[in-house]
Structure 1
């Protein structure tokens, strides 16, 4: 119950669950032979590390994950690994430099410190949160009308599966479109894109890049729906989005940018909701990055040489 979180479109689970549970898992099972690490938000949690060709990957993506915490999670994962973590996949999403609500979630230091304390481990065994998640999420799925979804995270035969394994389930396209509209209205109501831009973003990204020296690093901006991008534009955030891309390229040298209007973002069938891609879409993204053609690189790979051209073609 501490690890398994059944996932359903009608459920909303605050982000500390993944922070606490993935951190606790690493602490409880160390040493683990991790050679590949994914760091990111819920947009990353559906990625199977095995798609990169490794048998020793760990997906440390957590709900509302932010680049501000990446170095801490990286260092903690390395302290729990018997191998050197050589490959790191970093998600950057435009919500991250907006100072919106991240302080409401358990911070990385609290999670990491608690993972090593016996009193915290004992409390987790009897977590009220785990009981409530099971009560609210499993019971509604015991029907003949809808497919029963497997657990969002699971450990099978002692082997960790560190990612969500099922998309959200919709009866039809109308239900999915309704969910996208509902989600965008929530962002409107909470004035999400009215938040201020992190003025330390460029410094934080360069510091993060320095901490990754000597590793194979892939930085990617995962796709979101064009409807979500249009909402950014309505709030006048395109300049800040462009700024975020420029600062990321300056820090890391190159970025795989899937988060602009393109053939992926324009097709709602590629998404679970307004800003989470389907598992098959994310697998396609990983395949593009690993086996990229010249056309793929032209569309999605941004560096200092083609940055201005990319921005002119896709952001103006």
Structure 2
């Protein structure tokens, strides 16, 4: 009898906490394995966007989407619902690099069961830094896109994850963010929000931090990605029936000046634009000096836009009007006008002086 009581007590002490953890993790769903939404799971951290978005795609389906959106965190902050006339799934993730594009398209296409009508890719100049690939691979433990897809496909994966202690930690963090939103929270509609308007002083600190982060890879160790053009050509060959829409992601004027002009990368910058237009036919160009990028109030750091300006990106690409969108934000470069653009405006940029001494006072080594 004592043995049976001990077993029952052990089962009670084990199963009750596990059941609570499982129910709580299901209710919050920090790994995005389910589709329900409630008051406590609409401010979630994107702690592993590649896995979370793969889970969302696999378990909630992509059949209703006709457009795939890829890119880095700059693109992840664009609301997929702001692209008018398209059903967009935002698969962008922090530090997404060019070599990943094809692999993510393959995965999304397999999940959807058919090619996408449109694929929109936000390209970043840091993606031209071939030397940056190894850094990001190490940061993510050597994982490639297929590893995340394989994880999501494991038998009973999403149910086993309900008993994960790591999932519990992120579930608790999601609840905390409900009451204390942060600068980067995801809702249950796959939208990444910046919920805080930073002070000028905080933004200056963020700009300094961001420039320091990229300095090593975009200055002394920089090596232009020799296979940029062939990578784009391969995408077109692999998905000949898909319309590719390419845009350059906007960055603040201090960021541009530091890594394009002062780092003497104007030649590589022009090459990047030229090769992209030659291969893809056109692109929407936001990464230059324009009314948005020269106004730091549109950014909460050196290269991430607040929602109103990010919405302008989506509106320009989808050809819809938006209140207040500047005429010079998002130039459409084509094979017919790319040479003219590269000859005139960029040389004017190089001669432009900006009042950023205070912001960048200790950026230089």
TM tier, shorter chain? 0.7 to 0.9
| Bigger Rg, structure 1 or 2 | 2
Judge which range, 298-307 or 36-45, deviates more: 298-307
Q: Per residue, is there more helix in 1 or in 2?
A: 2
Correspondence for 2:304: 276
Normalised TM-score (structure 1): 0.82
Match of 2:227 among 188, 197, 200: 200
Q: Structure 1, residues 178-231: CA drift from partner, whole Å, max 9, x if none?
A: 22123223333x444333222111111111122332223211012110111111
C-alpha distance in 2 between matches for 1:54 and 1:309 = 31
Residue ranges of structure 2 left out of the alignment (5+ in a row): 1-29, 33-40, 348-365
Partner of 1:158: none
* RMSD of aligned alpha carbons: 3.0
Choose from 244, 248, 257 the match for 2:285.
257
Give the equivalent residue in structure 1 for 2:56: 25
Aligned 8 A contact 2:75 2:122 in 1: yes
Aligned residue number for residue 2 of structure 1: 31
**Aligned with residue 266 of structure 1, among 290, 294, 309:** 294
2:145 is aligned, of 108, 118, 134, to: 108
Shift of 1:140: 7.5
Report what 1:60 is aligned to.
91
| In 2, Cα distance between equivalents of 1:66 and 1:5 | 28
SS at match of 1:220: strand
Q: Distance in 2 between matches of 1:239 and 1:31?
A: 40
> Which one of 243, 246, 256 corresponds to residue 229 of structure 1?
256
Secondary structure of 1:276's partner? coil
Question: Structure 1 pair 169/109, CA: closer, same or farther in 2 (3 Å)?
Answer: same
Distance in 1 between the 2:292 and 2:298 partners?
Answer: 7
In the superposition, the TM-score normalised over structure 2's length comes to 0.72
Residues 5 and 151 of structure 1 are in contact (CA less than 8 Å); yes or no, is this contact kept in structure 2? no
Contact conserved, 1:288 with 1:296, CA < 8 A, in 2? no
Question: Are 1:224 and 1:265, in contact at CA under 8 Å, matched by a contact in 2?
Answer: yes
Counterparts of 1:62 and 1:114, CA distance in 2: 17
Q: Structure 1 residues 206 and 119 mapped into 2: Cα distance closer, same or farther (>3 Å)?
A: same
Q: Which runs of 5+ in 1 are unaligned?
A: 156-160
Q: Which secondary structure state, in structure 1, belongs to the residue aligned with residue 201 of structure 2?
A: helix
| Runs of 4+ deviating beyond 3 Å | 3-8, 119-143, 148-151, 190-193, 295-299
